Structure 1
Amino acid sequence: MTSMTPAVHRAGPAATTPARPVADPAASPAFLRAPFDRRSWLRYGYLWVAVLMAPFALAYALVSVVLTVGLAVTVVGLFVGGTLIVGARGWATTYRGMASKFLGNRVPEVPPFRRGRGFWRGLGSMLGDSAGWRALLFMFVMFPLSVVGFVTSTAVLVASLGAVTHSIWGRYLPEQQAGDGSWHRGAQLGPDWFVDTPARQLAFAGIGIVLFFVWPWIPWLFTQVAGLLSQSLLGPTRESLRVADLEQSRAGAVEDADARLRRIERDLHDGTQARLVAVAMQLGEAKDHLDSGTDPDQVSELVGTAHASTKDALVELRELARGIHPPVLDDGLGVALDTLAARSPLPVTMDVDAEVADRGRLAPAVESIVYFCVAELVTNAAKHARASGVYVLVERHDGDLRVRVRDDGRGGAAVTPPESSGHRSGLSGLAERVHAVDGRLDVSSPAGGPTVVTVTLPENVRP
Structure 2
Amino acid sequence: MRDDDTWTDSFRDPVRAPKETPARRRERPAFNSGMWREVAFLLVNFPLSLVGFVLTVVGLSLGAGLMVTIIGLWVLAGALFAIRGYGSVERGLVRSLLDEDIAEPLPVGTGRSGGGAWRRFFDVFSDGLAWRTALYLFIKLPWGIFTFTVTLVSLIVLWPVLPWIARGLSTVDRALASSLLAPADLTQRVKELEQDRGTVVDTAAADLRRIERDLHDGAQARLVALAMDLGLAKEKLSEDPEAAARMVGDAHGEVKLVLQELRDLARGIHPAVLTDRGLDAALSSVATRCTVPGGVRVNADLPGGSDRESRPDSAVEGIAYFTVSELLTNISKHAGARTATVDAWRSADHLMLQVRDDGKGGATEEPGGGLAGLAERIRAVDGVFVVDSPVGGPTVVTVELPWRTKNRN
Q: Same fold (TM over 0.5)?
A: yes
Identify which of 244, 247, 263 aligns with 1:318. Answer: 263
2:4 paired residue number: none
Q: What's the offset of the Cα at 1:364?
A: 1.2
* Separation of aligned partners in 1, 2:96 and 2:393: 42
Task: Select between 222-231 and 299-308 the one with higher mean Cα deviation.
Answer: 222-231
Q: What's the offset of the Cα at 1:148?
A: 0.8
C-alpha distance 396-104 of structure 1, shift in aligned 2 (>3 A): closer
Q: What's the offset of the Cα at 1:146?
A: 0.6
Q: What's the offset of the Cα at 1:226?
A: 2.4
Residue 333 of structure 2 corresponds to residue 338 of structure 1 = no
* Separation of aligned partners in 2, 1:356 and 1:68: 65
Task: Select between 70-79 and 312-321 the one with higher mean Cα deviation.
Answer: 70-79
Residue 126 of structure 2 corresponds to residue 125 of structure 1 = no
Please say if residues 16 and 241 of structure 1, whose CA atoms lie closer than 8 Å, have aligned partners that are also in contact: no
Q: What's the offset of the Cα at 1:433?
A: 1.7
- Equivalent residue letter for 1:131: L
C-alpha distance 334-212 of structure 1, shift in aligned 2 (>3 A): closer
Count of matched residue pairs? 390
C-alpha distance 156-447 of structure 1, shift in aligned 2 (>3 A): closer
1:181 paired residue number: none
Q: What's the offset of the Cα at 1:411?
A: 2.2
* Separation of aligned partners in 1, 2:25 and 2:67: 42
* Separation of aligned partners in 2, 1:155 and 1:134: 31
Residue 346 of structure 2 corresponds to residue 348 of structure 1 = no
- Equivalent residue letter for 1:110: P
C-alpha distance 375-16 of structure 1, shift in aligned 2 (>3 A): same
* Separation of aligned partners in 2, 1:153 and 1:280: 87
Please say if residues 410 and 448 of structure 1, whose CA atoms lie closer than 8 Å, have aligned partners that are also in contact: yes
Residue 48 of structure 2 corresponds to residue 61 of structure 1 = no
Residue 84 of structure 2 corresponds to residue 138 of structure 1 = no
Q: What's the offset of the Cα at 1:457?
A: 1.0
In structure 1, stretches of 5+ residues that fail to align are 1-9, 161-207, 419-424
1:422 paired residue number: none
Residue 231 of structure 2 corresponds to residue 284 of structure 1 = yes
Residue 364 of structure 2 corresponds to residue 369 of structure 1 = no
Residue correspondence of structure 1 range 30-429 to structure 2 within 5 A:
40=36, 46-62=41-57, 80-99=75-94, 108-114=103-109, 116=112, 117-118=114-115, 122=120, 125-157=123-155, 160=156, 211-215=158-162, 218-219=165-166, 221-290=168-237, 293-331=238-276, 332-346=278-292, 347-355=295-303, 359-360=307-308, 361-418=311-368, 425-429=369-373
Task: Select between 75-84 and 453-462 the one with higher mean Cα deviation.
Answer: 75-84
Please say if residues 348 and 389 of structure 1, whose CA atoms lie closer than 8 Å, have aligned partners that are also in contact: yes
* Separation of aligned partners in 1, 2:13 and 2:73: 37
Please say if residues 349 and 391 of structure 1, whose CA atoms lie closer than 8 Å, have aligned partners that are also in contact: yes
TM-score, normalisation: structure 1: 0.71
* Separation of aligned partners in 1, 2:64 and 2:25: 39
Q: What's the offset of the Cα at 1:278?
A: 0.9
C-alpha distance 38-399 of structure 1, shift in aligned 2 (>3 A): closer
C-alpha distance 312-231 of structure 1, shift in aligned 2 (>3 A): same
- Equivalent residue letter for 2:201: V
Q: What's the offset of the Cα at 1:366?
A: 0.8
C-alpha distance 410-155 of structure 1, shift in aligned 2 (>3 A): closer
TM-score, normalisation: structure 2: 0.79
Q: What's the offset of the Cα at 1:106?
A: 6.6
Task: Select between 443-452 and 294-303 the one with higher mean Cα deviation.
Answer: 443-452
Please say if residues 401 and 459 of structure 1, whose CA atoms lie closer than 8 Å, have aligned partners that are also in contact: yes
* Separation of aligned partners in 2, 1:358 and 1:408: 35
Task: Select between 447-456 and 53-62 the one with higher mean Cα deviation.
Answer: 53-62
- Equivalent residue letter for 2:328: V
Root-mean-square deviation (Å): 3.8
Please say if residues 44 and 150 of structure 1, whose CA atoms lie closer than 8 Å, have aligned partners that are also in contact: no
Q: What's the offset of the Cα at 1:98?
A: 4.0
Q: What's the offset of the Cα at 1:129?
A: 2.2
* Separation of aligned partners in 1, 2:271 and 2:129: 45
- Equivalent residue letter for 1:14: P
- Equivalent residue letter for 1:109: E
Taking every aligned residue pair, what percent have the same amino acid on both sides?
41
Partner-residue secondary structure (3-state), 2:303: helix
Q: Deviations over 1:111-134 (max 9, x none)?
A: 333364349965663123233233
